[in-house]
Amino acid sequence: MFPCLTYMERNVRVDCEFPPTYQVPGPYCEYRQDSRLVGSTYPNAVVYVATEDRRRSNVSLVTPNLCRLTWAPMADEKPYTYTCRVYQGSSWKENSMAVHHRILPICSAISVMFKSAPWLLCLVMSLPVAVGLLSP
């Protein structure tokens, strides 16, 4: 799970990565905040999300294997435990993380890249060295 704050709106964004699969049905995902359901991508299901939470949250599947929650936090500055549940085939997989939105980093392409692809960082950093060795 990768939590961060969106740059302009200062919304909490939590990305939950899961292994790719081609099992049917799925994948679907849902997010809970301190065991309270705040959003889901499960189709045709009766989801009991409070009206206030429905206006403040958005849960979506981002291809190929990422479930994303965007949450407009209240001004209470309380830490919460966010739980991501992903349904693939006939089973649920879940992951939880305690998040305090006051100390989250800003979401950016660079920070996401550093967290999810350290090999790319090594490649970019070693490129000037490789070019220097190749030049006469």
Domain boundaries, the chain: 2-105, 107-136
| pLDDT at residue number 13 | 92
| pLDDT at residue number 114 | 52
2-105 folds as Immunoglobulin-like (2.60.40)
CA-to-CA distance for 100 and 119, rounded, in angstroms? 29
| pLDDT per residue rounded down to tens, the chain (136 residues) | 889 988 888 888 999 998 887 777 778 899 998 888 888 888 766 666 677 767 788 889 987 789 999 988 777 778 889 999 998 888 888 899 998 888 888 887 655 555 555 666 666 777 777 677 666 6
Closest by CA to 53, choosing from 29, 79, 65, 35, is: 35
